[in-house]
Amino acid sequence: MFNFFSINKKVDEFSNSLADELYSQITPDMLATVNKKSAKKISKQWDKQVDNIILRIHEYKLTNGLSIYRKARLHQTFMNRLEIHGFSKKLIKELNEHLLLKTP
């Protein structure tokens, strides 16, 4: 029983750390104030961060043998943390759909 809660806690910590790391690299304000000059740079930076997240989630899922419940928990916790940081719901939904496709 205690193992169940400790695994959930580890999944939550991992998800939150990913979201915090993404927020530290690209803030919602940066995405909102994109102009033509900075759009390409921010877009490349965003793609790089998303690719990094995909790799880390995929590796985490494989090494920890997550059940379907815990995979869902990982994605939900990640989305909730991004929403707390102020990312738009539309962006969060699109990002999560992309992550779900890339990290089965």
**pLDDT digit string (tens) for 34-60?**
666 677 888 888 899 999 999 999 999
> Is 46 a domain residue?
yes
Q: Higher pLDDT residue, 99 or 42?
A: 99
Is residue 98 a part of any domain in this protein?
yes
Report how many domains make up the chain: 1
Task: Tell me the DSSP string of the chain.
Answer: -HHHHHHHHHHHHHHHHHHHHHHHHS-HHHHHT--HHHHHHHHHHHHHHHHHHHHHHHHHHHHHT--HHHHHHHHHHHHHHHHHHT--HHHHHHHHHHHHHH--
Query: Is 94 contained in some domain?
Result: yes
Does 66 reside within a domain?
yes
Question: Which range marks the domain in which residue 66 is found?
Answer: 13-21+39-102
Residue 8 lies in a domain: no
In a domain, 72, yes or no: yes
Residue range 94-104: average pLDDT?
Answer: 90
In a domain, 30, yes or no: no
